[in-house]
Amino acid sequence: MRALAKNVIGENDFFEVFVSTNLETCEARDVKGLYKKARKGEIKDFTGVSSPFERPVNPDLVLDTENKSINEIGDTLVSVLINKLK
């Protein structure tokens, strides 16, 4: 799907950002309870639970949400995107 998106958007305009978060943290942050429902079998093909998660092979940017604050992540994202648009 990523390759298709890159092809449709165009290589020069495509910018892949990987928000790196482990499964346990995703579940802890899940205010809607979707992971719990997926674990009970109420949601099929749920990424990370009943469907595999495919890490991007070569993302343009990796944001580490485990070890960085939301402000640090935001600053990094804005800085990288501004530089890309120049």
- Looking at residue 12, what is its pLDDT? 86
**What are the C-alpha distances in Å from 37 to residues 40, 47, 48, 60?**
5, 12, 13, 32
Is this prediction's pTM over 0.85?
no
- Strand, coil or helix: what is 63? strand
pLDDT in tens, 5-33: 999 999 888 999 999 999 999 999 999 99
Q: Print burial letters for 52-82: b (CB count within 10 Å at least 16), e (below 16).
A: eeeeeeeeeeebebeeeeeeeeeeeeeeeee
- Looking at residue 45, what is its pLDDT? 96
CA distance 42 to 49: 12
Name the CATH topology of 2-85.
Rossmann fold (3.40.50)
pLDDT in tens, 29-75: 999 999 999 999 999 999 999 999 999 999 999 999 999 999 999 99
More confident residue, 86 or 35: 35
- Looking at residue 15, what is its pLDDT? 92
**What are the C-alpha distances in Å from 34 to residues 19, 40, 58?**
19, 10, 28
- Looking at residue 2, what is its pLDDT? 84
